[in-house]
Amino acid sequence: MTTIKIAYSPCPNDTFVFDAWAHGRVPGAPRLDVTFADIDITNGMAERGEFDVLKVSYAVLPYVLDEYALLPCGGALGRGCGPLVLTREPGLDLSGMTVAVPSEKSTAYLLFRLWAADVIPDGVGRIVVLPFHEIMPAVRDGKVDAGLVIHEARFTYQNYGLHCLADMGEHWESTTGLPIPLGAIIAKRSLGDETLKLLAESARTSVRMAWDDPAASRPYVLEHAQEMDPAVADQHIGLYVNEFTADLGEDGYAAVRGLLTRAAAEGLVPPLGRDALTFGV
């Protein structure tokens, strides 16, 4: 079978999910040619159609679903796992302030804009895009007024002397009752229905193999975890790899539709086609 070119982040949830597949332990799965890249990079790759399979922000789906299909597994949704807005001082008014974000087409930024529309009527000032691992130092050092952070920053921001101004996931869950859609796995429609089905089955099997034998994935996870404390890596995996990773299910699809429909109504993304999220598995 043709090798599948795939790009995902070096974050522990992705390396945990894809470890078995990337190392040829998933029976019948196609071979993977893996590229590691941060989410802002993979979002751009998807818009340019550069890889067969990608981990991207759900916020980028309206721009790429003509060429790519959303796989019903392998991604990141959940509860209590949303992006945070961090500041040096508690209770800062962000009106007119400079905020660092990991990507202007990230789900984190989309959730931030929906939150800001509700609670900052005058709007924030300047938005700057930084790699997510540079955001907390930039806030700490006064280069920006606030930072929108994702991933393991939820567990480590206190180490930088920062304060959580707001939890985007908490706001989303309290206003919708739905889980938080963060990262999606997409695959090129041109691969054909049978290959797409095989890719979904392979991702699902890889997730379940990682759950069945967590120790097997540990070397791969820690190799790419950017000097992350192993305990933080475990927290990261525990938060972002859950039942929605194995299968989006009704609640997962409702969350994705809810986010993108609301964002489209606010003029933040193009509207989705009626069957854009449909996957025939």
Distance CA 195, CA 193 (A): 6
Tokens 């539709």 sit on residue? 257
Distance CA 12, CA 152 (A): 9
Structure tokens at 114: 């929906």
Determine if residue 56 is labeled as part of a ligand binding site: yes
Determine if residue 108 is labeled as part of a ligand binding site: yes
Put the strands of the sheet holding 146-149 in their side by side order: 127-129, 99-101, 146-149, 84-87, 163-167
Determine if residue 55 is labeled as part of a ligand binding site: yes
- DSSP letter for each residue of 72-120: SSSSEEESS---EEEESSTT---BT--EEES-TTSHHHHHHHHHHHHH-
The answer to whether the CB of 201 falls within 8 A of the CB of 127 is: no
Decide if 224 is catalytic: no
- Neighbour-count burial of 188, counting CB atoms closer than 10 A to its CB (0-12 exposed, 13-18 middle, 19+ buried): buried
Determine if residue 206 is labeled as part of a ligand binding site: no
In sequence order, what are the residues at sequence separation of 6 or more whose Cβ sits closer than 8 angstroms to the Cβ of residue 93? 120
Active-site pick, 133, 151, 163, 224? 151
Residues in the annotated binding site for substrate: 55-57, 107-108
Catalytic residue annotation: 151
